[in-house]
C-alpha cells in the first residue's frame, strides 16, 4: 500500500479574499487564487491528474484534469484554472470521461505494460489514472514508434531513471527547479522526441544533480524509482519521524515492511521541511543497520586488552564500579560526562541528570561547546534567549538575506533550497565568507555582494557595517528607543562611530574594499526586511561570541527583529544541538538555561530529583581535557560524540583520554574515541529512538521508533541504570514520562508533551501558558530579557596569524553528502560523492609550491601535520586554504590549535596558520592511526 499523503494537485494559496463556487453541485469556499483542482480536492472531489502535484506550480500539460465550467467553452484544465466567484464546475460528465480515456490511451500506447513486475506497482499514478478514467482498451497498438526500449540510467547510487516509463509530465524538471533550486534537469527535444535529460544529456551522476530526491518524489510513474523500492517492494506501514542529521530537522515517513525500512519519504506536514529533503535524510539511512554497528555492551580492563562482550547488567555494574573507584581515589569532581547532540532531548536530559545527581558534580558539557556555544552566550546577552529568533518560514518574507559564515546549500540543504527560492523571487543576497560558496552564484541565484573577508575578521567587518549605519543616519531610532536600553545604545553607537571602525580603516585587515562594506551596510539597513543567517564560520573563532553580539547589534539598530522576514538566526549543525543545550548540558546551566548557582532554580530541581546538587558550575570539555592531562580528571562518560576525532588539537585530546582511568563510550560504532575506552555501551539509531529533537528554529519534533532497539534497551534507560548502580535511583517507564518531567521543570517547555506533539505535529518553544501552540517568531513585543542589550564589540585580532613559517590560513567546512566526522555517511553510498577530503588551494599558492591538482601534500601547523590531496580551486582566495573533515584519515584536527572563543571556549576551527608543501607519504600519525584502525577491524 502506498504511504503517500493526499495530493491536492496545486499549492495552497493565502488570501484574505475568499471565493465561493460550486463543484459538482457542492458549494465550496476557498482563498482567491486557488485552482479549481485544489478547490475540488479540498472538498473531497478527486479530479484525474498526471502533471499536477501540490508542491509544484500548475503546468497544464497532460490534459487529464479537464473539467466543464458552465458558461465557458471547451474543457479547461482544472489545475491551471483559478476559481472565480459563482463559478459552476462539473468534474464528471460523459464528455469528460470520453476525452480523458482518449488521453490515457495515448499515454498507455507508449508505455511498457509490465505492471505486475514493475517496482512501483501499487504506487503508480499512471496506473491509478488508467483505473480512474475506466481505460479498457488501447486502440493504437504498440507497433508504432515508441520509447519503450530507452536505456536505463542506474548511475545514481539511490535511484534509477528508466525513460521507457516516462510520460514527460515535467514534474521532475519542475521539482528540481522550483523545490530544490538545482535546475539539473531539462526537457530535451520537442514533441514525440522530447525527453527528460540530466544536464546536457549526461547521466545523473555526471550532472549537477545533488540527489535530493525531489524528482523521485514527484515522479508519478516508475521512471524515477528508489533502488530500495526496486529491491524490497512497497511498504506496508509507515512511521513519521525526524531526520538524524542536520539542524534543519526534516520530518520523514519511514516507510516500512515489518521492521525493515524500504524508503524514507519527506513528510509534507513536516514544519521544517514541508515535504522536501536532502540526500542525507532521504537516502543515507543505511548506517543504522550497517555491519559495523555494535549492539552488545563490551568491557576491558586496559585499552590494550581485547574487548569482551558482556551482558547489560555486567557492563553497567562494571562501569559504575570503575567510576566510583575513580571518585574514591581522586574525589567527586574527578569524573564527568559529555552529552550528545545526536540523541533525543529525553536522552540528553537523563545524562545530565545522572551527572548532576549521581556523579554529584556539574562536570557536564555537550558537543555544542565546539560549535554553537557562542550562539547561546551571545544571543542570551543581547536578547535574553539562547536561540534563533525566527522560524524557517520567515525567510519567505525576507527582502535582504545576509548569510555569514554559513554554507546553507551544503550544511542545511533543505533550508538552503527555501532560501534560494526566496532569492529567485527577488530577495537580495549578501554573502560574507572567505570562500565562494555555491550561493554566491548558482543557477538563477546570484549574490548582490560577496564580502570575501580574511578568516578571523568577522567582528571587524560587522563593526564597519555598524559604523556606516550609525554615521549615515540609518538607525531605526523608534525601534531602538522603544525596545532597547538607551544608555547601552549610546555607548555602542559612539564606539562603532569611531574612525577605527570605519570601512576605510577595516578594509586593510579584512581585505574587503571600503565601498563594498558601505554598500552592504546601506542595503541591509534600508532594503526592507533584513534577515541574518549564520553558522560555524561565525562561532568557531576566538571572537565567536563577540560576532554573535555584533550581529544582534546590527539587527536591533535597524529594527530587524521581532517580526517575520528578519532576525538573527543560527543554522545549527547537528540535529539536536539546540535541544542538547536546552536540556541543561552546559556545566553552569540546568534545563532552559537557568543557572545552577541560582538557589531558587537549583532547589526546584533538588525537590523533584530528590538529590542535593552542587551549586558550583563544573568543567567544560576543554577544561576536562586539561585537567586530565594534569592528572585531576580521571573518568569520562561520552555519549555519541567522537571527541578523539572531532575536537581540536587531536594530540592533546588523545593525551587526555590516555591519562584517564575510566572512559565509557556510548555510540553506534566503535569510533576513534572507543580506542581509549574501557566500557563500550551500544547506542540506538534514530530509527529505534522514541523521543524528541529540537531543530535550529526551536521546533520540537517527535522521533518515533520504526523498529525496536537493536541493543535490547532504549538509550535513555542506560544512564538511568548507571545512575542507579552508582547509588542514585533513577527510573522512568517511558520517554514521554521524561518529557513530562522536563516540562514540569522548564518554563519554556511547560506546555510540551508527547500527546500535544502527536496532536499538532510540532511546536516551537517557548511553549507554555502564554503560548500554548508555541512561538514561531521570538521577541515580537519585547525582548525576553526586557530591553535589548547593545554590547560594545571591540575587534581583537586572533593570535593565530599567518607568518613566515605558516603563511596560509586554513579554514574548514562541510560538504553536502557527508556529515561531521562521517561516522554515519561514510557507512552509506554517499561515499560515491566524496571518497576523501581534499585541500582546496588557490592556483597561485599551488604554483608557488609546485603543487598540481591531485598531488599529495603535507598540511602543517604549529601543533601538527597531516597529509591529503590538493584540489586547485578558485573558490578560495590567495592565502586561504580549505578542507572538509569527514574522513578520519585526513585528521584535519591534528592541525587545528587550542585557540578558542574568549567567552565559551568554542575552538577556533576556522583559523589555523599553516604551511602546505608537496609530500610523498602519509604523516606519522596517519601511519599510527592506520595501525589502530586495523587492530580495531581485526576484533
Ligand atoms: S521522469 Fe517522471 S516526473 Fe519526470 S517527466 Fe518522466 S514521468 Fe514525469
Ligand atoms: S535528485 Fe534532486 S537535484 Fe537531482 S535531479 Fe532530482 S530533484 Fe534535481
Ligand atoms: S536538510 Fe538536514 S534534516 Fe533535512 S534531510 Fe537533509 S540532513 Fe536531514
Ligand atoms: S493535471 Fe492538469 S493538465 Fe495535467
Residues contacting 57, CB < 8 A, separation 6+:
10, 11, 174, 178
Q: What is the pLDDT of residues 603-648, one digit of tens each?
A: 999 999 999 999 999 999 999 999 999 999 999 999 988 888 877 7
Test site for ligand 4: of 47, 51, 171, most ligand atoms within 8 A of the Cβ: 51
Q: What is the pLDDT of residues 749-800, one digit of tens each?
A: 999 999 999 999 999 999 999 999 999 999 998 898 999 999 999 999 999 9
Give Cα separations from 329 to 322, 631, 634 (angstroms).
11, 12, 10
Q: What is the pLDDT of residue 938?
A: 52
Grid cell in block for residue 248:
534543519
Q: What is the pLDDT of residue 829?
A: 86
Residue 676 pLDDT level (bands cut at 50, 70, 90): very high
E strand intervals along 672-766: 679-682, 691-694, 699-703, 762-764
Q: Whose CA is nearest to atom 7 of ligand 1?
A: 166
Phi, psi of 873 (to 5 degrees): -145, 140
Distance 297 CA to ligand 3 centre (A): 30
- Mean pLDDT of all residues in 96-101: 95
Q: Is 166 in the pocket of ligand 1 (CB under 6 A)?
A: yes
Residue 66 CA: which ligand 4 atom is closest?
Answer: 2
Q: What is the pLDDT of residue 145?
A: 67
DSSP, collapsed to helix, strand or coil, labels residue 24 as coil
Q: What is the pLDDT of residues 243-270, one digit of tens each?
A: 999 999 999 999 999 999 999 999 999 9
Distance 889 CA to ligand 4 centre (A): 52
The total number of residues written for the chain in this structure: 939
Check: CB of residue 815 under 8 Å from CB of residue 410.
yes
Q: Is 120 in the pocket of ligand 1 (CB under 6 A)?
A: no
Pocket of ligand 2 (CB under 6 A): 175-176, 180, 182, 184-185, 209-215
Query: What angle (nearest 5°) sits at the alpha carbon of residue 511, between those of residues 505 and 513?
Result: 65
Q: Is 867 in the pocket of ligand 1 (CB under 6 A)?
A: no
pLDDT at 929 over 70: no
Measure the CA–CA gap between 813 and 343, rounded to whole angstroms. Answer: 23
- What burial letters (b/e) apply to 815-825, b meaning 16+ CB within 10 Å? bbbbbbbbbbb
Give Cα separations from 818 to 301, 473, 836 (angstroms).
35, 45, 10
The residue written with cell numbers 586488552 in the block is: 305
Residue 144 pLDDT level (bands cut at 50, 70, 90): low
For the chain, give the mean pLDDT.
92
Q: Whose CA is nearest to atom 7 of ligand 2?
A: 176
Phi, psi of 23 (to 5 degrees): -125, 125
Q: Whose CA is nearest to atom 4 of ligand 2?
A: 209
Residue 907 pLDDT level (bands cut at 50, 70, 90): confident
Q: Whose CA is nearest to atom 4 of ligand 1?
A: 172
Cβ neighbours, 10 Å, residue 410: 21
Measure the CA–CA gap between 683 and 711, rounded to whole angstroms. Answer: 7
DSSP, collapsed to helix, strand or coil, labels residue 752 as coil
Higher pLDDT, 529 or 111: 529
Q: What is the pLDDT of residue 202?
A: 85
Strand 880-883, strand 364-366: pairing:
unpaired
Measure the CA–CA gap between 172 and 61, rounded to whole angstroms. Answer: 13
Measure the CA–CA gap between 296 and 310, rounded to whole angstroms. Answer: 7
Residue 346 pLDDT level (bands cut at 50, 70, 90): very high
Distance 280 CA to ligand 3 centre (A): 6
Residue 78 CA: which ligand 4 atom is closest?
Answer: 2
pLDDT at 1 over 50: no
Test site for ligand 1: of 156, 221, 222, most ligand atoms within 8 A of the Cβ: 221
pLDDT at 925 over 80: no
pLDDT at 321 over 70: yes
Distance 835 CA to ligand 4 centre (A): 42
Measure the CA–CA gap between 606 and 615, rounded to whole angstroms. Answer: 11
Residue 273 CA: which ligand 3 atom is closest?
Answer: 4
Cβ neighbours, 10 Å, residue 100: 23
Q: What is the pLDDT of residue 890?
A: 77
Phi, psi of 612 (to 5 degrees): -95, 125
The residue written with cell numbers 587526555 in the block is: 656
Measure the CA–CA gap between 143 and 141, rounded to whole angstroms. Answer: 6
Amino acid at each position: 500500500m502506498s504511504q503517500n499523503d493526499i495530493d491536492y494537485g496545486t499549492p495552497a494559496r493565502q488570501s484574505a479574499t475568499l471565493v465561493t463556487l460550486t463543484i459538482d453541485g457542492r458549494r465550496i469556499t476557498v482563498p482567491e487564487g486557488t485552482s479549481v483542482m485544489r478547490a475540488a480536492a479540498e472538498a473531497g472531489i478527486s479530479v484525474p491528474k498526471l502533471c499536477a502535484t501540490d508542491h509544484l506550480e500548475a503546468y497544464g500539460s497532460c490534459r487529464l484534469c479537464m473539467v466543464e465550467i458552465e458558461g465557458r467553452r471547451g474543457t479547461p484544465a482544472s489545475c491551471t484554472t483559478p476559481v472565480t466567484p459563482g463559478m459552476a464546475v462539473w468534474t464528471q460528465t460523459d464528455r469528460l470521461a470520453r476525452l480523458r480515456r482518449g488521453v490515457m490511451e495515448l499515454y498507455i500506447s507508449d508505455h511498457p505494460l509490465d505492471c505486475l513486475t514493475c517496482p512501483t506497482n501499487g504506487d503508480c499514478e499512471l496506473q491509478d489514472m488508467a483505473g480512474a478514467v475506466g481505460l479498457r482498451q488501447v486502440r493504437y497498438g504498440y507497433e508504432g514508434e515508441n520509447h519503450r526500449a530507452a536505456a536505463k540510467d542506474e548511475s545514481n547510487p539511490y535511484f534509477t531513471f528508466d525513460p521507457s516509463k516516462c510520460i514527460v509530465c515535467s514534474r521532475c524538471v519542475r521539482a528540481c527547479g522550483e523545490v530544490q533550486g538545482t535546475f539539473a534537469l531539462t526537457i530535451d527535444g520537442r514533441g514525440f522526441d522530447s525527453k527528460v535529460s540530466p544536464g546536457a544529456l549526461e547521466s545523473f551522476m555526471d550532472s549537477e544533480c545533488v540527489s535530493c530526491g525531489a524528482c523521485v518524489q514527484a515522479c508519478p510513474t516508475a521512471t524515477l524509482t528508489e533502488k530500495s523500492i526496486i529491491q524490497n517492494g512497497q511498504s506496508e506501514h509507515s512511521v513519521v519521524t525526524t531526520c538524524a542529521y542536520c539542524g534543519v530537522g526534516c520530518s520523514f515517513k519511514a516507510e516500512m515492511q515489518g521492521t525493515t525500512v524500504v524508503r524514507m519519504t519527506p513528510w509534507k506536514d513536516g514544519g521544517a521541511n514541508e515535504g522536501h529533503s536532502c540526500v542525507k535524510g532521504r537516502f543515507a539511512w543505511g548506517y543504522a543497520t550497517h555491519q559495523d554497528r555494535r549492539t552488545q555492551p563490551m568491557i576491558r580492563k586496559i585499552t590494550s586488552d581485547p574487548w569482551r562482550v558482556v551482558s547489560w547488567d555486567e557492563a553497567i555494574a562494571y562501569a559504575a564500579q570503575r567510576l566510583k573507584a575513580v571518585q574514591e581515589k581522586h574525589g567527586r569532581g574527578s569524573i564527568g560526562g559529555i552529552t550528545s547532540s545526536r540523541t533525543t532531548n529525553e536522552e540528553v536530559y537523563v545524562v545530565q541528570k545522572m551527572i548532576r545527581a549521581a556523579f554529584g558534580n556539574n562536570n557536564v558539557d555537550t558537543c555544542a561547546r565546539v560549535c554553537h556555544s557562542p550562539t547561546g552566550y551571545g544571543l542570551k546577552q543581547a536578547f535574553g534567549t539562547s536561540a534563533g529568533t525566527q522560524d524557517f518560514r520567515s525567510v519567505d518574507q525576507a527582502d535582504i538575506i545576509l548569510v555569514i559564515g554559513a554554507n546553507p546549500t551544503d550544511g542545511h540543504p533543505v533550508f538552503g533550497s527555501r532560501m534560494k527560492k526566496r532569492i529567485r523571487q527577488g530577495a537580495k543576497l549578501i554573502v560574507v565568507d572567505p570562500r565562494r560558496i555555491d550561493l554566491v552564484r548558482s543557477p538563477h541565484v546570484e549574490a548582490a555582494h560577496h564580502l570575501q573577508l580574511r578568516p578571523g575578521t568577522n567582528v571587524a567587518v560587522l563593526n564597519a557595517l555598524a559604523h556606516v549605519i550609525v554615521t549615515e543616519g540609518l538607525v531605526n531610532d523608534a525601534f531602538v528607543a522603544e525596545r532597547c536600553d538607551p544608555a547601552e545604545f549610546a555607548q555602542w553607537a559612539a564606539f562603532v562611530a569611531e574612525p577605527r571602525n570605519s570601512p576605510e580603516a577595516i578594509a586593510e585587515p579584512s581585505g574587503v574594499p571600503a565601498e563594498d562594506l558601505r554598500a552592504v551596510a546601506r542595503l541591509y539597513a534600508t532594503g526592507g526586511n533584513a534577515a541574518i543567517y549564520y553558522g560555524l564560520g561565525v562561532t568557531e573563532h576566538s571572537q565567536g561570541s563577540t560576532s554573535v553580539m555584533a550581529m544582534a547589534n546590527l539587527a536591533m539598530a535597524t529594527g530587524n527583529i521581532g517580526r517575520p522576514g528578519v532576525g538573527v538566526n543560527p543554522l545549527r549543525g547537528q540535529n539536536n544541538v539546540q535541544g542538547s543545550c536546552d536540556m541543561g548540558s552546559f556545566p553552569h546551566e540546568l534545563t532552559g538555561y537557568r543557572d545552577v548557582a541560582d538557589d531558587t532554580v537549583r532547589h526546584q530541581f533538588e525537590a523533584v530529583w530528590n538529590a542535593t546538587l552542587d551549586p558550583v558550575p563544573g568543567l567544560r570539555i576543554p577544561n576536562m581535557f586539561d585537567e586530565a592531562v594534569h592528572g585531576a580528571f580521571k573518568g569520562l562518560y561520552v555519549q555519541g560524540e567522537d571527541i578523539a576525532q572531532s575536537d581540536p588539537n587531536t594530540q592533546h585530546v588523545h593525551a587526555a583520554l590516555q591519562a584517564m582511568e575510566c572512559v565509557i563510550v556510548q555510540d553506534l560504532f566503535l569510533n576513534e574515541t572507543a580506542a581509549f575506552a574501557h566500557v563500550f555501551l551500544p547506542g540506538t539509531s534514530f530509527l529505534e529512538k522514541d523521543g524528541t529533537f529540537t531543530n535550529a528554529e526551536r521546533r520540537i519534533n517527535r522521533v518515533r521508533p520504526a523498529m525496536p532497539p537493536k541493543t535490547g534497551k532504549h538509550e535513555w534507560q542506560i544512564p538511568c541504570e548507571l545512575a542507579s548502580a552508582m547509588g542514585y535511583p533513577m527510573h522512568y517507564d517511558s520517554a514521554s514520562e521524561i518529557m513530562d518531567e522536563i516540562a514540569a521543570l522548564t518554563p519554556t517547555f511547560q506546555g510540551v508533551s508527547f500527546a500535544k506533539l502527536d496532536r499538532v505535529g510540532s511546536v516551537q518553544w517557548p511553549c507554555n501558558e502564554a503560548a500554548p501552540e508555541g512561538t514561531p517568531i521570538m521577541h515580537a513585543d519585547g525582548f525576553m530579557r526586557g530591553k535589548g542589550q547593545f554590547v560594545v564589540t571591540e575587534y581583537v585580532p586572533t593570535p593565530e596569524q599567518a607568518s613566515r613559517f605558516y603563511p596560509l590560513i586554513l579554514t574548514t567546512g562541510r560538504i553536502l553528502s557527508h556529515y561531521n566526522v562521517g561516522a554515519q555517511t561514510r557507512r552509506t553510498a554517499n561515499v560515491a560523492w566524496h571518497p576523501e577530503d581534499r585541500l582546496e588551494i588557490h592556483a597561485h599558492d599551488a604554483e608557488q609550491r609546485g603543487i598540481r591538482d591531485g598531488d599529495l601534500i603535507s598540511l602543517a601547523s604549529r601543533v601538527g601535520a597531516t597529509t591529503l590531496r590538493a584540489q586547485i580551486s578558485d573558490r578560495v582566495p590567495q592565502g586561504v586554504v580549505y578542507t572538509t573533515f569527514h574522513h578520519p584519515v585526513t585528521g584535519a584536527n591534528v592541525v587545528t590549535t587550542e585557540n578558542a572563543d574568549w567567552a565559551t571556549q568554542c575552538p577556533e576551527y576556522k583559523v589555523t596558520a599553516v604551511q602546505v608543501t608537496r609530500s610523498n607519504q602519509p604523516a606519522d600519525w596517519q601511519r599510527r592511526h592506520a595501525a589502530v584502525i586495523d587492530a580495531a577491524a581485526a576484533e
